[in-house]
Amino acid sequence: MKEQARARARQLAQKFIQHGDATGWFEHLYTQAQGNEQAIHWADMEVNPNLVGWLDRRNMQGKGKLALVVGCGLSDDAEELARRGFEVVAFDIAPTAIVWCRQRFPQSPVEYMVADVFDPPPAWRGSFDFVLEAYTLQVLPTDVRSKAIASIAGLLAKEGTLLVICRGCSAEEPQGNLPWPLTMEELNLFKSTGLWQVHFEDYFDQEEPPVRRFRVEYQRASSAES
Ligand SMILES: C[S@@+](CC[C@H](N)C(=O)[O-])C[C@H]1O[C@@H](n2cnc3c(N)ncnc32)[C@H](O)[C@@H]1O
């Protein structure tokens, strides 16, 4: 079922991207799913183990910190951050995904919002102590990623932490089908926005078959250092 859903998503994405629309297909996919998560191939309905592993290792405490989840999908990661004490804002470009999140977690303290990473609310600039980007860049075509990267970097507060989790490949590898892995060179764009790369991990995850992942932690310098 998930493989069929992935194939349908690829077809839909191709149709929109061919017409110069990199993001219109997400809302279509969510509305066509009609509440069936099996139709959304990335919706595991559980928190991302690559996030949990990182949070546990870093022993990251959320109390008193404001977190932002980019392209939150059906929101398990946002809920996990809230459980760990963060005040959380989670956004997605697809209104149907946001309605779905609110229905799944009616008592949630997370603020769910429709927003576009290419044009986030101006008030968000430099506001978040922790920003999570998991698997959104890899479903955006390469020609628009640098704009998304600059936008995401701009949302971090001074001394804030950004965690990026994505599929990874080397520049020589063919990109293949959606989701399209990122290269280290693409991720280096985060550094050129002024972020400091704290930790770069390149590993194969526990999925079957295992997937090559990049998990990268960045930090914005304090004003004294910038
Ligand atoms: C592959 S899914 C990943 C969802 C979630 N982060 C997860 O790991 O399950 C990518 C999500 O990003 C959202 N998205 C795509 N383009 C976006 C944009 N420009 N701004 C905000 N969200 C976007 C999609 O609607 C989708 O929910």
- Digit-coded pLDDT (tens) for 155-201: 999 999 999 999 999 999 988 999 999 999 999 999 999 999 999 99
Write down the mean pLDDT value for the chain.
96
- C-alpha distances in angstroms, 53 versus 26, 81, 172, 215? 28, 13, 29, 11
Whether the predicted pLDDT of 223 surpasses 90: no
The pLDDT tens digits for 1-47 are 789 999 999 999 999 999 999 999 999 999 999 999 999 999 999 99
Whether the predicted pLDDT of 224 surpasses 60: no
Provide the 8-state DSSP code for 39.
G
Say what percent of the chain tops pLDDT 90.
94
- pLDDT value, residue 126: 98
Q: How confident is the model at residue 222 (pLDDT cuts 50, 70, 90)?
A: confident
Q: By alpha-carbon position, which residue is closest to atom 10 of ligand 1?
A: 136
- pLDDT value, residue 221: 87
Provide the 8-state DSSP code for 44.
-
- pLDDT value, residue 225: 59
Which tokens belong to 218? Answer: 């960045």
Angle in degrees, 0-180, between the axes of helices 142-154 and 184-192, rounded to the nearest 10: 40
CB 73 less than 6 A from any atom of ligand 1: yes
CB 93 less than 6 A from any atom of ligand 1: yes
Distance 56 CA to ligand 1 centre (A): 24
Are 155 and 130 in contact by the 8 Å Cβ rule? The answer is: no
Whether the predicted pLDDT of 226 surpasses 60: no
Are 211 and 167 in contact by the 8 Å Cβ rule? The answer is: yes
Whether the predicted pLDDT of 150 surpasses 90: yes
Distance 88 CA to ligand 1 centre (A): 16
Which tokens belong to 184? Answer: 């280290």
